[in-house]
Amino acid sequence: MKQKTIPLRKCTGCQEMKDKRTLVRIVKSENGEFSIDFTGKKPGRGAYICPDLECLEKARKSKGLERSFKTSVPKEVYDKLREELTDGADSK
């Protein structure tokens, strides 16, 4: 039996290694624009975070995204993430 390797990525909030398919990807494109990538296929540099408001707050406080991207991350990116995560919880 072949064992499948699960690609792991580190959450910028809780710093835990998780299956990347369960994480939300934040992408910074070549022109420096940030977007939230649910497909995991957008080009650009990515950082990962659990789809969890607690992790989002942790990332915001610890500047996890800033450290991943090595640049400042606009507040709007966090707001957008929060919006997406809240919407997701509502539709369940």
- Between CA 83 and CA 27 the distance in angstroms is 17
**Residues 6+ away with beta carbon under 8 Å from 29:** 35, 42, 43, 44
* Binding of Zn ion by 14 (CB under 5 A): yes
Exposure of 20 in the CB half-sphere (CA atoms within 13 A)? 15
**Residue 11 C-beta: closest distance to Zn ion, Å:** 3
**Residue 30 C-beta: closest distance to Zn ion, Å:** 27
Contact (CB, 8 A) for 81 and 60 = no
Tell me how crowded residue 6 is: count the other CB atoms within 10 A of its CB.
11
Task: Specify the residue, 10 or 80, whose C-beta has the smaller distance to Zn ion.
Answer: 10
* Binding of Zn ion by 59 (CB under 5 A): no
- Contact map string, positions 22 to 51, toward Zn ion, x by CB under 5 A: ----------------------------x-
> In this chain, which of 11, 56, 65, 85 binds Zn ion, going by CB under 5 A?
11
Residues forming the site for Zn ion (CB under 5 A): 11, 13-14, 50, 55
